[in-house]
Amino acid sequence: MKVVVFGASGMLGQGVVRECLLAADVSRVVCVGRRPSGAKDAKLEDVVHPDLLDLTAIEPRLAGYDACFYCLGVTSAGTSEADYRKVTLDYTVSVARTLSRLNPQMTFVFVSGQGTDETGKSRAMWARVKGEAENAVRGMPFRASFIFRPGFIQPLHGIQSRTRLYRVLYVVLAPLVPVLKALSPGAVTTTEKVGRAMLRVARSGYPKAVLGNPDINEAAG
């Protein structure tokens, strides 16, 4: 299986790339982004491209892939709606449209978030925009598309968020994670499980098109 990962330098993307590199049936991993992924492996290639709204220059390097794991995102905190919409919706549509044309048999997995509203009625800006992005992905002519809506994600294997606020929050909340898992196992997933779940749905599908934390954990095995 050949895989394309967007957002590989972020916390979740790092975890997904790690699981892809560990998977025996993944022969190639291409990480596309505005900066290098930071990962090193014989079967990994970084494609640094500054403008995700125009992928023309790298199209030849995006053909022939079986799955795309789209982990690119930005926090809505302190971000204008225009900027948030550009990254969350416009980039996603540009990438999905290009990949569906080049790889119509591809499985596309889009990382959204718990609380996303695909109806457009939410008062939360981020929830509405994420919902628009979800709807756009589901309308693309891929072989299959899946939406991951994780809630709390525990970073493992030394992975850290690039966002300082999130790094601080994870340190503060770390002692509470075992308690949360004990009280509500489905409320917590990990970077490892998200990566494994993505590989699972790319290989063999899943009964649900939209997966929350409990579904992600189940799919991860």
Model pTM? 0.91
Residue 41: pLDDT over 60? yes
Q: Which domains does the chain have, with CATH numbers?
A: 2-220 (3.40.50.720)
Arithmetic mean of pLDDT, 85-97: 98
- What is the SS3 assignment for the chain? CEEEEECCCCHHHHHHHHHHHHCCCCCEEEEEECCCCCCCCCCEEEEECCCCCCCHHHHHHHCCCCEEEECCCCCCCCCCHHHHHHHHHHHHHHHHHHHHHHCCCCEEEEECCCCCCCCCCCCCHHHHHHHHHHHHHHCCCCCEEEEEECCEEECCCCCCCCCHHHHHHHHHHHHHHHHHHHHCHHHEEEHHHHHHHHHHHHHHCCCCCEEEHHHHHHHHC
pLDDT for 187 equals: 77
* Interval 48-72: pLDDT, tens: 999 999 999 999 999 999 999 999 9
